[in-house]
Amino acid sequence: MRDDLALISRWIPTGARVLDLGCGDGDLLAHLQDDRQVNGYGLEIDQDNIAACFAKGVNVIEQDLDKGLGNFQSDRFDYVVMTQALQAVLRPDSILDEMLRVGREAIITFPNFGHWRVRSYLGFKGRMPVSSALPYEWYDTPNIHLCTVKDFEAHCRERDIRIIERQVVNRHHRSGRLTRAWPNLFGEIAIYRVTL
Amino acid sequence: MPETIPQDSVGLVQPQTLHVDQPLELECGRVLPSYDLVYETYGTLNADASNAVLICHALSGHHHAAGYHSADDPRPGWWDSCIGPGKPIDTDRFFVVCPNNLGGCHGSSGPGSQNPETGQLWGPDFPMMTVKDWVKSQAQLADALGIQRWAAVVGGSLGGMQALQWSMDFPDRLANAVVIAAAPKLSAQNIAFNEVARQSILTDPNFHGGRYYLHDTYPRQGLILARMVGHITYLSDDAMRMKFGRDLRSGRFHFGFDVEFQVESYLRHQGETFSRNFDANTYLLMTKALDYFDPARECDGTLEDALADTRCNFLVMSFNSDWRFSPERSREIVNALVQVGRNVSYAEIDTPKGHDAFLLPIPEYRKLFGAYMGRVAEATSNA
């Protein structure tokens, strides 16, 4: 399992009701189902991923996140998870609101655009950053709403969203002295657990 | 039949008949004292009878879902694209059962069969059947075959409604319900199309109040019209454009009312073929069963209430160009199942083929269907 998924799964207790937005091939939910007996559903649009979820016995619903979560009733879930997709949706602010409407807590991960390597790429090269975490060119990137750790936290403050837990890690999904002291400079992936 | 039977066909098959002497109490209040169910099976039932899959047919379907009846059979069964060795419903792994529904015209008791009490043909006196009644009779078939619990109950369109009904009426007797191109109930528009079809039969002078058998005739024109209007709703605008466009049979206008456009020719041909092979009373009955289907109404509540006591896992699939039972209708089922916490998966297949797509060998559809059924088979062998 991807390291960030392993980190997230530690935050989800046994028997929780989980909605995973952009669940990919269903690894996280499969793990949570087997290990924590969660009642989970994934949303996904890629049909290869959907077939992979079927094969794993993971509940998956073909649904485009950009069309919202209007089909789910308020407070239906304990946790709504979205890993590495916040930056790819049309309106990250709306989806965040929706996540906190249908779920008690939201767990979100995104690539930190404030990382020093990204800053220096743009600063010194004067070109849009391309890296292992952000491997696309400016014209074909699905990442249309990149943000930094500071941006995200400012947004949470504006919307009265409470940050329960934060893990900012390097590309190996480890946190160290640097990522703890200067998360917006040394963190490559930001992982948040938030609530209203 | 083709020169040689394809590798992925179930091959030559033979229908069987189950005679049930136990009275069947029907939703309409009447009782069917005894009845016949004709059915086919493919594959082998395993030792603990845990690998059985029930196929529920749609409006004009029947028990012959796969394989060939004889060496001269021009076409395989109606769902041969999905049933057979290595196909989504893999007959190397599953024991597949497909009955003809009561009220049908392919061997099971129906308007065209004999009323045991009078010795006459039932005709229009055959009791009105509902999806619930069919499911009840299918449970009798399961009992007779020694199947306590289906690995899956699978159906498209009206067949999908039966799969859904199974999950509500016999929650412990199926592990999975596969509901394809279906709806939780018909819309006013759906009912309207059915009513046009029924009126075309009922007003045919050869209908004789449904007793056309006694007059040695049948409402041919009515059946043709009914099928023509039905068929339009099974295809999409795009599918018709691609298949026919505005193509003319002879390349020019004749300024008359004979067949000129290819689409006219096609519809008439479809209607005529259908009218020779289908019973008018059955068509009336089947369309009413569709109209009546409404599990929420049945439990005096919402669809969520109706599905609250289900236990099985669900797969719901729809086709984006299907306007007869659009993806929105399938999503209503999915949303209700999520709300009551049931295991449910949903996929929407991108195809221009309309409602009929569920019968076609569309690669994405077969891949997803196969992936799900593969998991069902694994769970079966681990059980």
Residue B63 and residue B57 in contact, taking contact as beta carbons nearer than 8 Å: yes
What CA–CA distances, in Å, run from B337 to A34, B163, B294, B331?
21, 14, 16, 10
Residues of B within 8 A of A78 (CB-CB) are: none
Residue numbers of the domain that contains A39? 3-112+146-195
Q: How far is A196 from chain B (nearest CA, A)?
A: 22
Average of per-residue pLDDT across B64-83: 95
Q: Which residue has the tokens 């509500």?
A: B168
Residue B21 is among the residues annotated as catalytic for this protein: no
Per residue, what are the HEC states of chain A?
A: CCHHHHHHHCCCCCCCEEEEECCCCCHHHHHHHHHHCCEEEEEECCHHHHHHHHHHCCCEEECCHHHCCCCCCCCCEEEEEEECCHHHCCCHHHHHHHHHHHEEEEEEEEEECCCHHHHHHHHHHCCCCCCCCCCCCCCCCCCCCCECHHHHHHHHHHCCCEEEEEEEECCCCCCCHHHHHCHHHHCCEEEEEEEC
The whole-chain average pLDDT of chain A stands at 94
Q: Which of these, A151, A149, A172, A153, lies nearest to A161 by C-alpha position?
A: A153
Cα atoms in the Cβ-side hemisphere of radius 13 Å centred on B276: 5
Residue A61 lies in a domain: yes
- pLDDT at residue B59 in the model: 95
The whole-chain average pLDDT of chain B stands at 96
Q: How far is A55 from chain B (nearest CA, A)?
A: 5
Whether A61 and B338 lie within 8 Å, measured CB to CB: yes
- pLDDT at residue B315 in the model: 98
Q: Which of these, B133, B143, B167, lies nearest to B153 by C-alpha position?
A: B167
Q: Does A60 touch chain B (CB under 8 A)?
A: yes
**In this complex, which of A54, A63, A76 lies closest to B368 when CB atoms are compared?**
A54
Confidence grade of residue B1 (pLDDT, cut at 50, 70, 90): low
Residue A96 lies in a domain: yes
Residue A40 and residue A33 in contact, taking contact as beta carbons nearer than 8 Å: yes
Model-level pTM?
A: 0.95
> What are φ and ψ of residue B291, in 5° steps?
-60, -40
- Dist CA B290 CA B103 (whole Å): 13
Residue A51 lies in a domain: yes
Region at B87 (left for phi over 0; alpha for psi -120 to 50; beta for the rest): beta
**In this complex, which of B346, B364, B375 lies closest to A57 when CB atoms are compared?**
B375
* pLDDT tens readout for residues B229-261: 999 999 999 999 999 999 999 989 999 999 999
Residues of B within 8 A of A44 (CB-CB) are: none
- Dist CA B146 CA B50 (whole Å): 10
In sequence order, what are the residues at sequence separation of 6 or more whose Cβ sits closer than 8 angstroms to the Cβ of residue A94?
Answer: A68
Statement: residue B228 has pLDDT above 90: yes
Residue A124 lies in a domain: no
- pLDDT at residue A82 in the model: 97
What CA–CA distances, in Å, run from A101 to A62, B250, B300?
20, 62, 29
Query: Which helix (H) or strand (E) segment is B162 a member of?
Result: helix B158-169
**Collapsed DSSP state (helix, strand, coil) of residue B50:** coil
**Collapsed DSSP state (helix, strand, coil) of residue B325:** coil
CATH of residue A18: 3.40.50.150
* pLDDT tens readout for residues A55-71: 999 999 999 999 999 99
Confidence grade of residue B382 (pLDDT, cut at 50, 70, 90): low
Statement: residue B3 has pLDDT above 90: no
Q: Does A46 touch chain B (CB under 8 A)?
A: no
Residue B134 and residue B153 in contact, taking contact as beta carbons nearer than 8 Å: no
- Dist CA B127 CA B28 (whole Å): 8
Residue A123 lies in a domain: no
In sequence order, what are the residues at sequence separation of 6 or more whose Cβ sits closer than 8 angstroms to the Cβ of residue B1?
Answer: B68, B70, B71, B72, B73, B74
| Cβ count near A130 (within 10 Å) | 15
Average of per-residue pLDDT across B5-15: 92
* pLDDT tens readout for residues A75-122: 999 999 999 999 999 999 999 999 999 999 999 999 999 999 999 999
Which residues 134-163 of A are in CB contact (within 8 Å) with B?
Answer: none
Statement: residue A1 has pLDDT above 80: no
Residue A181 lies in a domain: yes
Q: How far is B178 from chain A (nearest CA, A)?
A: 13
Number of domains chain A is built from: 1
- pLDDT at residue B2 in the model: 61
* pLDDT tens readout for residues A147-192: 999 999 999 999 999 999 999 998 888 888 999 999 999 999 999 9
Residues of A within 8 A of B341 (CB-CB) are: 17, 39
Statement: residue B383 has pLDDT above 60: no
The yes/no answer to whether this complex scores an ipTM above 0.85 is: yes
Residue A183 lies in a domain: yes
Average of per-residue pLDDT across B266-282: 96
Residue A78 lies in a domain: yes
Residues of B within 8 A of A63 (CB-CB) are: 346
Average of per-residue pLDDT across B363-383: 91
